[in-house]
Structure 1
Amino acid sequence: MKLLVSAAAIISVASLPALAGEFNGPYLGLGVGYTDADGPGARDGDNTSFGGHVGYDYSFGSGFVLGGEVEYDRVNADLGGAGGTIDNIGRFKVKAGYDFGPVLGYGVVGAARATTSFGNDTGLVYGVGLAYPVTEQWAVSGEVLRHEFNDLGGAGSDFNVDTFNLRASFRF
């Protein structure tokens, strides 16, 4: 259900009236979203998340866009009982996509670092997103990301964390 709501939000952004945009150069922005963490046993939790991002895209002129981004989200997801909390997640993502005119569709892959009340771990992050320019400098986007942590907190606990983010970015 959560994935369905997130997909509907991304599709609604894509169905806005067309505005010519250029997905090239540096940008920074803010985002708000939803984080859902699933761990062993009853160590599950979710919460609203918020944070910032900074990145750079390079358009090859043929529609292909390649970029990189650093992102930080404050999560504060309570994992239930004695499970502790996931406090924040930082990401370094490589982005590749195609400019479909008014919309950039892209995939991301990279590294994520989770800070928790019971330890920290670095894992894999991957996902998809859509970006839509609202003006020449402002764009809105939506991302659905999956994080895989294989030893969160050093206790051998595997966690999958899904995030659904709506973002606003300013291009320089």
Structure 2
Amino acid sequence: MKKSIITLSIIASTLSGAAFAHNGFYIGAAYSKMGYSDLLTGIEKTDTRNGYSVNAGYDFAFGNFFVLGAELEYKDLGGMTGTFIQPSWSYTLDMTSVGVNVMPKMYFGDKFNIYAKAGLHTFSIDQTVTTTSKLSQSDSDSSMVWGLGLGYDFTPHISAQTTYEVVNTDAGSIGSANVGLRYKF
């Protein structure tokens, strides 16, 4: 009986320590390879500028395997330049966003996790058309951001993540493949 109680105490302390290791505040940054293939028909794209993101949030551990994260995020969605096919005018697009994300994670062991990302972002969209003169337009829009990702915790404080995200706008979809690091306090 004594051995059973000692064994159960050791298991309980190990499991609660693993759950506690997934709790906490974090900051992160990521590089984003942007894909504008679905955006703005009738424009021949000549250059795509990639983006980045920075975020801060908190992970809430529910047991040993499930974590629910909530974060604030700033994203530079890069941009693109191109020319209209008819007539031959140049076009430039730059986008940024600020939003709130919810990220449910499922851990497999103490290091690997798979997660989903759902967020509501407000976008700032700057467009410029150059003909014989320069015409600029700035606009803002709100949209959902969706994504799936994989993560690996190198230490209790440092982790790496890779995510594929999609933003649906009125003009089309923007996809991005992201690779980033996160520091947990």
Identity of counterpart residues, as a percentage?
A: 23
* Equivalent residues in 2 for 1:111-150, closer than 5 Å: 111-117=120-126, 118=137, 119-150=139-170
Cα distance in 1 for partners of 2:28, 2:64 equals 26
User: Could you tell me how far apart the structure 1 residues matched to 2:64 and 2:54 are?
Assistant: 29
Deviation per CA, 1:117-161, whole angstroms, max 9, x where unpaired? 1312111111111111112211111111000112xxxxxxx2211
Higher relative CO (Cα under 8 Å, sequence separation at least 6) belongs to: 1
Aligned residue identity for 2:95? D
Q: Which runs of 5+ in 1 are unaligned?
A: 1-19, 151-157
Match of 1:23 in 2: 22
Deviations 1:68-108 (A, max 9, x none): 12221223312423443123233321111211111111111
| CA distances 1:7-66 after superposition (whole Å, capped 9, x unpaired) | xxxxxxxxxxxxx89322110021112111232313466322123111111111141111
Quick one: structure 1 residues 91 and 35, their matched pair in 2 at CA, closer, same or farther if it must change by over 3 Å? farther
What is the 5 A alignment of 1:63-78?
A: 63-78=65-80
Question: Do the aligned partners of residues 89 and 129 (structure 1) sit closer, same or farther apart at CA in structure 2, a change above 3 Å counting?
Answer: same
Structure exhibiting the larger radius of gyration computed from Cα positions: 2
Pairwise mapping of residues 19-168 of structure 1 onto structure 2 (< 5 A)?
A: 22-37=21-36, 38-43=38-43, 46-81=48-83, 82-101=90-109, 102-117=111-126, 118=137, 119-150=139-170, 158-168=171-181
Quick one: which amino acid aligns to residue 142 of structure 2?
Answer: T
Cα distance, 1:110 vs. partner? 1.5
Unaligned runs of at least 5 residues, structure 2: 1-17, 84-89, 127-136
Q: Which has the larger displacement, 52-61 or 78-87? A: 78-87
Q: Structure 1's 160 and 100: CA in aligned 2 closer, same or farther, altered over 3 A?
A: same
| Aligned positions, number | 146
Whether the aligned pair in 2 keeps the contact of 1:143 and 1:165 (CA below 8 Å) is yes
Q: 1:114 to 1:159 in 2, by over 3 A?
A: farther
Q: Which runs of 4+ in 1 moved over 4 A?
A: none
Q: Give the partner amino acid of 2:97.
A: I
1:60 and 1:72 map into 2 onto residues whose CA distance is 27
